[in-house]
């Protein structure tokens, strides 16, 4: 039975875990584990957002990758309104989208914030924060 497992699936810890994953994918997303693995291969075994490599590992023993992150298997990301599968993501990127409630506007504002393009009105800050403005905020933006 292990010979039936696709070659590009790098590590399968046990056949029971493989079959459980297959049943779960069929029940929740309507795809087989072969579909999942084909999708993973089409993504070059990488998360579509952060590009971290996924070492497909179905079972209990996970090994850290070069960055120190343990990526056991990717999450099937899907639109919660339509159910359409968008791709496979690592758990961190999937949580990022979930916390933003799949809202592109919110994510774009977060990008602007990280780039330092959102201005803060120093005058509107509580007085106890103003003493920290030299360390906390860029003076050019507060002028």
Q: What is the pLDDT of residues 29-59, one digit of tens each?
A: 999 988 988 998 899 888 999 988 876 544 4
Structure token digits, residue 40: 């993973």
Contact 25, 33 (CB under 8 A): yes
Q: What is the pLDDT of residues 83-111, one digit of tens each?
A: 899 999 988 899 999 999 999 999 999 99
How far is it between the farthest Cα atoms of the chain?
A: 69
What is d(CA 42, CA 118) in angstroms, rounded to the nearest whole number?
A: 37
The whole model's pTM is what? 0.66
Going by C-alpha positions, the residue among 28, 42, 31, 34 that lies closest to residue 12 is 34
């Amino acid at each position: 039975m292990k010979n039936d497992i696709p070659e590009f699936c790098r590590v399968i810890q046990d056949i029971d875990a493989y079959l459980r994953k297959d049943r779960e994918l069929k029940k929740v997303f309507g795809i087989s584990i072969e579909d999942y693995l084909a999708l993973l291969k089409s993504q070059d075994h990488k998360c579509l957002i952060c590009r971290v490599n996924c070492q497909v590992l179905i079972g209990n023993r996970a090994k850290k990758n070069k960055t120190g992150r343990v990526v056991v298997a990717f999450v099937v990301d899907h639109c919660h309104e339509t159910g359409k599968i968008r791709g496979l993501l690592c758990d961190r990127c999937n949580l990022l989208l979930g916390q933003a409630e799949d809202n592109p506007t919110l994510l774009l504002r977060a990008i602007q914030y990280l780039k330092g393009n959102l201005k803060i009105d120093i005058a509107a800050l509580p007085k106890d924060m103003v003493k920290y403005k030299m360390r906390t905020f860029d003076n050019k933006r507060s002028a």
